[in-house]
Amino acid sequence: MDATPRPARLAVGVISAGRVGSVLGAALARAGHVVTGVSAVSQASRNRADELLPDIPVADPTEVAARADLVLLAVPDDELQGLVKGLVATESLRAGQIVVHTSGAMGVQVLEPAAGLGALTIALHPVMTFTGRAEDLQRMSAACVGVTAADGDEVAWSVGEALVVEMDAEPVRIPEAVRPLYHSALAHGANHLITLVRDAADLLTGSGVANAERLLGPLLSAALDNALRHGDRALTGPVARGDTGTLRKHLGVLAQQAPEILPSYRVLARRTAERAEESGLLKPDAANDVRTTLED
């Protein structure tokens, strides 16, 4: 039986109805909390609020925060510090509130002005990419959420973990000091994966291959699954085999037909050779041949 303490039913204020804020607000409402207000400036945000937080009053951030027990700050990283200072300056935050932000790169230090008032401050970062649509609520059940609270504040850690469990996700403790590296790892994996996949699809489409996505889907899904299950043992292809002849062909055709992709191909191939050598898949002499070919 889950012994995690559950927060009482809370009045939740969502600032703002972006892709993350609207979904987390809806997840908290599904868990039995009451969303009492949401801020939404753009038309896209208003549309998300209408879909995921229907009949919730749309108001200024100061009003949303003042009416809430739990203030959910789901704004871009660069806006977070100024928003917190502004809410404190306008006396929209108070002691006893729970103030949560969803930034991946930041811990709770950015919420220090709220903590100074006596608010309980927590960082909850969903390790998931959202579209801001209803199906994202189902994705929450398969997601982890990075939880950060102040060192030694076990109450805040426990409340953060309980909120995550209520949203049907899995909490993972991320200490404040490692947040930048934690977020770098996630961005490197998720964001650059999209760039890599789209570059591969564009190469296929540009060569006249029809339905590139259908061709890539099973291959890339299997590669991702194998990488997560088996680590570096999942490495395949000419670099991992030390097949410099094929590698030269790749470099040549990319130089001629897709020079904008060639630099990233070289960098990733070099890193693949390093991992293959470190894991024992590629002998040192073969790895050196690969590196020489890439430099040529």
The per-type count for the chain, helices as H runs and strands as E runs, is 13, 7
Enumerate residues 6+ apart whose C-beta is below 8 A from 204: 212, 215, 216
Write out the chain's pLDDT in tens, 296 residues. 454 555 679 999 999 999 999 999 999 999 999 999 999 999 999 999 999 999 999 999 999 999 999 999 999 999 999 999 999 999 999 999 999 999 999 999 999 999 999 999 999 999 998 888 889 999 888 899 999 999 999 999 999 999 999 999 999 999 999 999 999 999 999 999 999 999 999 999 999 999 999 999 999 999 999 999 999 999 999 999 999 999 999 999 999 999 999 999 999 999 999 999 999 999 999 999 999 999 98
Name the residue among 208, 189, 195, 217 with its Cα closest to residue 263. Answer: 195
C-alpha–C-alpha distance, residues 129 and 190, integer Å: 8
Q: How many CB atoms lie within 10 A of CB 125?
A: 24
Query: 0.75 exceeded by the pTM?
Result: yes
H or E segment and range at residue 35:
strand 34-39
C-alpha–C-alpha distance, residues 92 and 143, integer Å: 32
